[in-house]
Amino acid sequence: SACPSGRYAPDAAAVMCSPCAPGTFAGRSGQLVCQVCPRDAFAPGHGEEQCQRCPDLTLTANDGAISPAECTQCVEGYFFQNISCRKCPLGLTTHTPSDTACSLLPEVLWIIIVGVVFFFISLAFAYRLHRFYKGRLALVEAKAADAVKVAEAVVQETVTRGLASIEDFGHPMVLIRANSLSSLTVDQLRGLHEGNRDAHRLLFVDTFAKF
């Protein structure tokens, strides 16, 4: 007759059946060989009809385990700690069942790499932009300084010519401040010279050195 489950005979004509070895099983009668337990199960004794499952999420290192003590590896996304598998935090994963710690997901790692590259590119662009505008500012400041020098030269030349005209004319030149002149009344304007002279608003210039 056919061998019962848990046992096997190498050929149908065999008189005696042999029990399956630990780590293997025969799930139905009449099997010629025993099947090896997969990596998420084990068979501890002889003549097992089925394999026992490893604790949740755990795996064995190889097929054909004979003890739950061999269930020390974890499915992807979990790592083994204190005889059980723990889920990796968000953004982390495991790459092999034997990992005892989590590492960055490839997608997260690429995001970080792209972010770092973009940061340094932006930094370089900002530095070049800063140098460009700094150079433009220096150019504007230089042009402004040149304009001031030209204006000062024009004023100096005008004053010098005025003084030269005074010297050629042979009479002193009388100056009054613009704000003082604008504040004069009509009567004061009529007595412009004498009134302002008495109020000490006039400045007499007769030589270049005195000016």
In degrees and rounded to multiples of 5, residue 162 shows phi and psi of -65, -45
The per-residue pLDDT for 24 is: 96
- Phi, psi (5° rounding) for residue 103? -135, 170
Could you say which residues of the chain have pLDDT below 50?
Answer: 207-211
Helix ranges (H only) for the chain are: 106-169, 178-182, 186-190, 192-198
Q: What is the pLDDT of residue 36?
A: 96
First and final CA of the chain: distance in angstroms? Answer: 139
- 68: buried, middle or exposed (CB in 10 Å: 19+, 13-18, 0-12)? middle
**Residues whose CB is less than 8 angstroms from the CB of residue 184 and which lie 6 or more positions away in sequence, other chains included:** 192, 196
Contact 172, 204 (CB under 8 A): yes
**CA separation for the pair 10, 8 (Å, rounded):** 7
**H or E element at residue 81:** strand 78-81
Residue 120: its pLDDT value, please? 92
Task: Output the pLDDT for position 107.
Answer: 80
pLDDT at 103: 86
Q: What is the pLDDT of residue 208?
A: 46
Q: What is the pLDDT of residue 164?
A: 73
Question: Strand, coil or helix: what is 25?
Answer: strand
Q: What is the pTM of this model?
A: 0.48
- 52 CB contacts (<8 Å, ≥6 apart)? 41, 42, 43, 44, 68
pLDDT at 44: 94
Within 10 angstroms of residue 59's Cβ, the number of other Cβ atoms is 22
Following DSSP, what letter does each residue of 54-77 receive, concatenated? PSTTEE-SSSSB-SGGG--EE-TT
Helix (H) or strand (E) holding 204: strand 203-205
The per-residue DSSP string of 132-143 comes to HHHHHHHHHHHH
Structure tokens at 28: 């139905």
Question: Residues 112, 127, 130, CA angle at the centre, nearest 5°?
Answer: 140
User: pLDDT tens across 156-193, in order?
Assistant: 888 788 777 766 665 555 566 777 777 777 777 666 66
